[in-house]
Amino acid sequence: MTLLVGLSVMRFSLVQAQTPTPTPTPTATPRPPASAILSIDSGPVGSSVRVNGSNFVSSEKIKFGNQEVATTRLDSFGGFSETFPVPALPAGRYAVWVGSLSIGDFIIVSTFAIAPQSGPPGTSVQVSGSGYSPNGDISLTIDGQSIQSIRADAQGNLLSTVQIPVVAGGSKIISASGGAQANFDVTPTLTVDQPTSSPGDTVNINGAAFRANESGIKVKFDNATVATSITADNQGRWTASFVIPSTTAGSHNVTATGSATTSNVPTAKIIIGAGMTLGLTSGPPGTLLKVKGSGAGRNQSLTIDIGGGAAIFQAAADSKGVWEADVTIPSAPKGSLTIRATGTSGDGATATFNVTPTLLLSDPKGSPGSNITVTGEGFAANQQGITISFDKEIITSASSDSNGSWSVDLPIPPAKKGTYFIKASASGVDQQTPFSVAPGLFINKSQAGPGETATVSGGGFAPNETGIVLMLGESTIKTGIVANADGSWSTSFVIPPLPANSYNLTASGAVTSAGSVSERTLTLTTRLTLSANAGNPGITVVLTGQGFAANEQSLSISYDNVVVVSGINTDVFGAFTRTFVIPPSTAGQHSIVVGGSSSGVASGSDISFQVRPGFLLESTTGPSGVTMMLVGTGFGPNEQNIEIKFGSETVISGVAADANGGFQQSVLIPPAPAGQHNISASSPSGSLTAQAQQTYTVVPNIALNETNGNVGMDLSVRGTGFTPDSNVTLTYDDLTVATVRSDALGSFNLQLVVPASDKGDHSLKALDERGNRVQELFEIENIPPSAPVLRSPGDGSRGGILGSFRPSTRWAPVDDPSGVTYNVQVAADPEFLDIVLDKQGLPSPTYKFNGDEALDRGKYYWRVQAVDGASNAGPYSSVHELNSGIIPIWLLSAMVVLGLIASTGGAYAYYTKVYLPKKAPQQAPVFPDFVRISRPEIAAPMPPPAAASSAPALAAPRRALPSPFRRGGGGAGRSSVSPEQQARLRLVVDFVGSIPLMEVSPDLLWVEELVESLGGDAEGRFEQVLRGDLEPVYQPAWMQHPTYQEMQSEPAAAPFLEGLELYIESVNDCAADTLAIIRRIYGDLEAAGSLETLASHQWRYVLTVAQSTTGWFRGTYLGQPSPREYIIKSGAGDLASLMGVDSAPFSGTIIDGLHEEDLVFYRDLHIQLRNTYRNDDDARAIAAKMTATGTMRDQLNHNIAQLGEQSQGR
């Protein structure tokens, strides 16, 4: 333009210099000035910029800053339109020139991104960005704290992974030098140092990423606060400790909150007692999980059920009940997944695994145009509209199945080399994973012959890259290939004539080097490949053949000229794959040949297999002293004098191989220290020399000469596999019983005496100085001693003139291997409800009552029980009667009566004038000898083993009837009662003698009778009583009988009727209190969420817990609740019944028609409820009340007997 302008000026000057003429010369039209504009004026490196220009006269260079980025190509009007990518330069403002014309500035902006955007300290974060100084160092900080320095690549791009350092929690800014930044939310963590603990243990808990200097932090164990007033440091870290409170076995939550940190704090788990622990508590499906457990039965087989049958694994406990297993989390939807371990005996265990979503790629890198499979696991079940995007562009969508799984094929769209994110988004889930786009090649066939056409595609190259060269091996087969703007290209070529072989297909260009391109292989040969070229006979190998004739028939595989596989047919590409087992053969090279029809292409091919000597052990870990089977293969044919060594010690020599080089031999593992030892098999027979070895790990072991026995017995212990010359400490349960020195081979022998201990299993542990430990169980016998035989005083013996008897008791000694002590009881009744003396732990078979123990005048009963050193209590002896007071009471009474008669007052006069007025409020002038029935003051008894009630004794002594029934006052003679009175009295006696008085017994059958008396549907009636909608009352039908009504007007029966009414009232009190306990048990069952499955068995289940409780407090059953009291009996199909054994207080069927795993759960819950209510004060009080009520019943029966005597005039 300048030139044109200049010409115009010059032309104008010439015109001015000429002599004026009449005709003026015309001037040229001025050309508009050149101009150009940018399509955009800012963006990151790589942005596509278009420059449009007009009125140019020649081609010009376009410069971006100081870099030439394009050359203009003018049209016929001097215009152009050129596109160029923003070059790799640091962020900033750059001038853009077309030739010498400045057309504006372009601002390069830097990009900066992180993923993920939240997590605790230690989280790996991927940092990416562009627009930085090529090969420049970039400093990364978080809230001003340096993380690390990373280097940009040659294009100024960032791609690196950094870890979040220890910082306080909350939103933080990650900055890159230069000003770019991104937000990262630092989330808190919570860890405990003892994830498996017991109540009473001290546990250290650590918190991180709380707010800086945050105060008021408190820790909760489940819902109980166990630590308070904790303050974090300036990095949000804190440490505290707490004692595990009393709680049940299983998994418990430990949580922490602070004044600022109130949410998003992860929960720490602590496993209490026997159960199961998980190596991980959360993760996606496919997670390999280590599961450990304890508390199983000896050598018990266990089934590990994940997700209610989604996956089943098996495990086996060792002799100590410890087990572990590796399991794989199956496909399951997002959320909690229950893992349950159950066995044929012992307690089951459960744990919860949190399934998290994950995104899986079949390949984390690839080239544009390739297909990858994107798989989602752990999403919500049956979730619709899951979108899958590549670099924020939605490509496709998917729907999850019932397990939260989905899978789609994703074509990689055109893209430049770099890292992109593949993202799956749905409601509540946002998962992404990086995918690297790299230069790559794709060929439409993997093998071909010369002359065939193959098509190769390339992707991930530089945009518009030129000069791309394609090579097959060392041969150049295509040049001048140009990529498009997305870095992709495609070309076809004819395979040149090359020797049969495998060739690498490579490509390189002006920007992309050959080494950065993923290459492909083109196979042009016939060859055989083995999955393993060497090994032992018996292993399975895979043989692959290629380059045979297409569809060739009847090929066979021969091993040392013996056909091992036949009938092989190749595919259309002349290929096949077969597996076969290496047959028995000797050490050395063996030929594998493939042969078949003469197709003209390939009639045979061979490969060698190297047979090596080897052997298999029955087990690679165990104690010394055991015999292992060793199977050897791959030795020389008929090879002799094979030696088997354990370490350097020859344990067997002279072993001979068969014709195929194989042998079998039993090997005794000799005494050896703990650790790994080599077992080798070798032969020095010249050219046939061969050697094979395996590693055997010796573990410590103790062997007992007896695994069960009694207290005080001698026990021989043999230990092997410990540290040589080490002190080994042996403990019996928690008692150290011996310390012994191991010998040079880590072995020891000792004798010890079984210490005093209860019946059942006890742990004998051995621990050496290096921490090698092992334990064995020793069972103390549970056979109780026999009942003692009483010798003196004899049955019915008397002592003491008027009382204060202090007998010397003796009984026959009882023999027991564990030794015995004796318990002596004396009671005022033969049922031993009113115990007056209870002596425990007497060492010898005799006892002399001391002065404080002298028996008052009266009748007593005594018995003896033997208890052995293992706390096995035997049955009580037979009961002997014992009387205190030699002179009978009737003789003293007679002497008193004679004295009264002689003093002319008479017994009757005294009785009517003196005694009766003192009795209030009611009198019984006809039947004064009745024991008065009154409501006793109930004192709850102490817990068992003492079976006696602490209710006050209500004695029922017999007294001679006074004068109203004796003629002449107190003198001898016949009855003065009229015949009419006697007849009426006889009627009353017959009636009351037939009254059925309900017995308040600890088996609680009387409670069921009361409920059944309500009538109606049995199942509905019991449910109404359990829920408190019905309240049964004891109202016997005989109270409506006419004779009973007549008795109301008979003064003689008043004391008896009063006693009856009090007894009925006491029965109803016992019923109401017993039902209150039953309803509490029912409420506990309902709170456990366990009612629905029980259905019609709820009443029986709850009643049996109450029966056990009352039996415990009444002393009728003192056994410790355990699974041995129950039987699970198989029924129809896979259903079974839970029953109580005959010796239990609830014998018979408890639950019927449930699956065995459900019955095990309800059995364990039954035991737990029984243990709980054995410590219940209300239940203890009810037992005392039932005892007192039983005493009242006995008194009533006594009065009925006296009525009978009086009706007969006696």
User: Which two structure tokens, joined as six digits, stand for 327?
Assistant: 């399991």
Return the bridge partners of 346, or none.
296
pLDDT of amino acid 879: 93
User: Which two structure tokens, joined as six digits, stand for 219?
Assistant: 């820790």
Is the pLDDT at 952 greater than 60, yes or no? no
Select the more confidently predicted residue: 1059 or 15.
1059
Strand residue runs (E) in 358-411? 358-361, 365-366, 371-377, 386-390, 393-398, 406-411
| CATH code, residues 527-611 | 2.60.40.10
CA distance 965 to 19: 187
pLDDT of amino acid 435: 92
pLDDT band at 527 (very low <50, low <70, confident <90, very high): low
CA distance 74 to 147: 52
pLDDT of amino acid 93: 93
Question: What amino acid is encoded at 122 in this protein?
Answer: G
Kindly report the CA angle at 12 between 10 and 15, in degrees rounded to 5? Answer: 115
Is residue 628 classed exposed, middle or buried when 0-12, 13-18 and 19+ CB atoms within 10 A define those classes? middle
DSSP 750: E
User: Which two structure tokens, joined as six digits, stand for 789?
Assistant: 């035989």
CA distance 1210 to 1202: 9
Select the more confidently predicted residue: 949 or 658.
658
Domain 701-780 fold: Immunoglobulin-like (2.60.40)
Q: What is the mean pLDDT of residues 394-409?
A: 92
Q: Which of the residue ranges 617-621, 642-646, 691-695, 849-853 would you say has the lowest mean pLDDT?
A: 691-695
Torsion of CA 119, 122, 123, 124, to 10 degrees: 160
Tens of pLDDT, residue by residue over 914-937, are: 323 333 333 333 333 333 344 444
Which CATH superfamily groups domain 32-108? Immunoglobulins (2.60.40.10)
Dihedral pair phi/psi, residue 1147, rounded to 5°: -60, 150
pLDDT of amino acid 943: 42
User: Which two structure tokens, joined as six digits, stand for 875?
Assistant: 């049955």
CA distance 352 to 271: 11
What angle do helix axes 1054-1087 and 1098-1114 make, rounded to 10 degrees?
A: 120
| CATH code, residues 790-887 | 2.60.40.10
Domain 369-436 fold: Immunoglobulin-like (2.60.40)
User: Which two structure tokens, joined as six digits, stand for 458?
Assistant: 């390339």
Question: What is the strand order of the sheet 534-535 is part of?
Answer: 534-535, 604-611, 588-595, 555-559, 562-568
Q: Distances from the Cα of 161 to the Cαs of 46, 148, 182, 918, in angstroms? A: 23, 10, 15, 102
pLDDT of amino acid 1040: 73
pLDDT of amino acid 899: 33
User: Which two structure tokens, joined as six digits, stand for 783?
Assistant: 């056979």
CA distance 63 to 168: 49
CA distance 913 to 893: 20
pLDDT of amino acid 570: 82
Helix (H, G, I), strand (E, B) or coil at 1008: helix
pLDDT band at 592 (very low <50, low <70, confident <90, very high): very high
Return the bridge partners of 562, or none.
559
CA distance 1169 to 1121: 10
**What residue ranges do the domains of the chain occupy?**
1-29, 32-108, 111-186, 189-355, 369-436, 440-523, 527-611, 614-683, 701-780, 790-887, 919-932+977-1196
Tens of pLDDT, residue by residue over 151-190, are: 988 888 888 999 999 998 888 899 888 778 899 999 999 9
Cα–chain-centroid distance for residue 106? 62
Kindly report the CA angle at 676 between 672 and 682, in degrees rounded to 5? Answer: 85
What angle do helix axes 1098-1114 and 1156-1173 make, rounded to 10 degrees?
A: 40
pLDDT of amino acid 1195: 81
Is the pLDDT at 245 greater than 60, yes or no? yes
pLDDT band at 1196 (very low <50, low <70, confident <90, very high): confident
pLDDT of amino acid 428: 80
Select the more confidently predicted residue: 250 or 160.
160
- Domain 111-186 CATH (choose: 3.40.50.2300, 2.40.50.220, 2.30.30.30, 2.60.40.230): 2.60.40.230
Q: What is the mean pLDDT of residues 504-514?
A: 89
pLDDT band at 1005 (very low <50, low <70, confident <90, very high): confident
What angle do helix axes 1054-1087 and 1177-1207 make, rounded to 10 degrees?
A: 160
- pTM higher than 0.75, yes or no? no
Tens of pLDDT, residue by residue over 982-993, are: 666 666 667 776
Question: What amino acid is encoded at 1163 in this protein?
Answer: R
- Domain 440-523 CATH (choose: 3.30.499.10, 2.40.50.140, 3.40.140.10, 2.60.40.1930): 2.60.40.1930
Nearest to 29 by CA among 11, 56, 54, 53: 11
Helix (H, G, I), strand (E, B) or coil at 268: strand
Tens of pLDDT, residue by residue over 27-52, are: 666 778 999 999 999 999 889 999 99
DSSP 1053: G
Tens of pLDDT, residue by residue over 1038-1079, are: 777 777 766 766 666 676 777 778 888 888 889 899 999 999
Instruction: Say what percent of the chain tops pLDDT 70.
Output: 83
Tens of pLDDT, residue by residue over 1146-1195, are: 888 999 888 888 888 889 898 999 999 988 888 889 888 888 888 888 88
pLDDT of amino acid 1209: 56
What is the full DSSP assignment across 587-608? SEEEEEEEE----SS-SEEEEE
Residue written as token pair 């001898």: 972
Cα–chain-centroid distance for residue 944? 37
pLDDT of amino acid 902: 31
Dihedral pair phi/psi, residue 929, rounded to 5°: -85, -5
Tens of pLDDT, residue by residue over 760-804, are: 999 999 999 999 999 999 999 889 999 999 988 888 888 876 678
Q: Which of the residue ranges 138-147, 951-960, 1101-1110, 1111-1120 would you say has the lowest mean pLDDT?
A: 951-960
Helix (H, G, I), strand (E, B) or coil at 1207: helix
Q: Is there a common fold for 111-186 and 527-611?
A: yes
pLDDT band at 20 (very low <50, low <70, confident <90, very high): low
Size of the chain in residues: 1210
Select the more confidently predicted residue: 776 or 963.
776
Is the pLDDT at 727 greater than 60, yes or no? yes
* Mean pLDDT of all residues belonging to the chain: 81
pLDDT of amino acid 1203: 66
User: Which two structure tokens, joined as six digits, stand for 262?
Assistant: 């109130």
Q: Which of the residue ranges 248-257, 492-501, 1107-1116 would you say has the lowest mean pLDDT?
A: 492-501
Q: What is the mean pLDDT of residues 51-58?
A: 93
pLDDT of amino acid 881: 92
Residue written as token pair 């590990």: 304
pLDDT of amino acid 26: 60
Task: Output b/e per residue, 813-829; b: 16+ Cβ within 10 A.
Answer: ebebbbbbbbbbbbbbb
Contact 527, 547 (CB under 8 A): yes
Strand pairing class (386-390; 202-208): unpaired
Is the pLDDT at 893 greater than 50, yes or no? no
Nearest to 1062 by CA among 914, 886, 1156, 1192: 1192
Per CATH, the architecture of 189-355 is what? Sandwich (2.60)
pLDDT of amino acid 571: 80
pLDDT of amino acid 256: 94
